[in-house]
Chains A and B, each alone.
Chain A
Amino acid sequence: DTGVSQDPRHKITKRGQNVTFRCDPISEHNRLYWYRQTLGQGPEFLTYFQNEAQLEKSRLLSDRFSAERPKGSFSTLEIQRTEQGDSAMYLCASSLILSYNEQFFGPGTRLTVL
């Protein structure tokens, strides 16, 4: 399977703990995006990378959130001191630069903060 993969698929944590999610994009895609989806809503943009550079961050991405894409391949999204309001589906997507509108999504990581 050469699609976008995410790990883990599910994460349950206690409030105040740190969590880290991983995304592996489609191999030739130079853009990588993170979105968050809460119940009853569509995905909301968090941040995106072009190769290893993080080029845009949403206001939704508080100081407790950090994302990296160190070698321009996989990416990690870390949430520090999790809060119950962080419970959501975290989606990763990737695209080619010239086809930036056509983003291919992974299956997501569902985070539950108790």
Chain B
Amino acid sequence: DQQVKQNSPSLSVQEGRISILNCDYTNSMFDYFLWYKKYPAEGPTFLISISSIKDKNEDGRFTVFLNKSAKHLSLHIVPSQPGDSAVYFCAASVVDGNKLVFGAGTILRVKS
């Protein structure tokens, strides 16, 4: 069963606008959430994370929001830039967990 779901396979956004990527999870034991970015022919690169004790974490143009009651998190990129075009993976782990559980990814295209 897929414990982390990214229901939008792709998203296209105009440069300068906001990109919103969504992620849903089913395992209530998850306590830490991360977003990774992946360019072709490279491994995933850590972008931003959030602990379950918070509902928002911000780092420059990137903000992650967590809604525990809805088991939903989102990544906001403002303003979007062409260099942000990549595959974005949502991932989660449990307390003292040793592995990350990933979603299937969302392809973001930022048009200039």
Contacts and interface: CB of A to CB of B under 8 A. Distances in A.
Interface of A: 4, 31, 33, 40-45, 48, 55-56, 58, 91, 93, 100-108
B100 A48 contact: no
Chain B: number of interface residues, binned into ranges = 20 to 34
Nearest to A106: B43
Contact of A48 (B91, B98, B105): B98
B3 to A, nearest CB: 11
Interface stretch (B13-21, B44-52, B55-63, B74-82): B44-52
Contacts of B105: 41-42
Contacts of B45: 105
B108 interface: no
B46 A56 contact: no
A101 B34 contact: yes
Contact of A56 (B42, B49, B98, B103): B98
A101 B34 CA distance: 8
Residue with the greatest number of chain A CB neighbours at <10 A, chosen from B42, B49, B100: B100
Contacts of A104: 46
Contacts, number: 56
Contacts of A107: 41-43
Interface of B: 4, 6, 32, 34, 36, 41-46, 49, 89, 91, 93, 97-105
A103 B43 contact: no
Contacts of B46: 102-104
A55 B44 contact: no
Contacts of A45: 99-101
Contacts of B103: 42
Nearest to A3: B43
B7 to A, nearest CB: 13
A30 B98 CA distance: 13
A44 B102 contact: yes
Given A48-B99, A100-B98, A107-B42, 7 more contacts: A31-B98, A33-B99, A48-B98, A101-B32, A104-B46, A105-B43, A107-B43
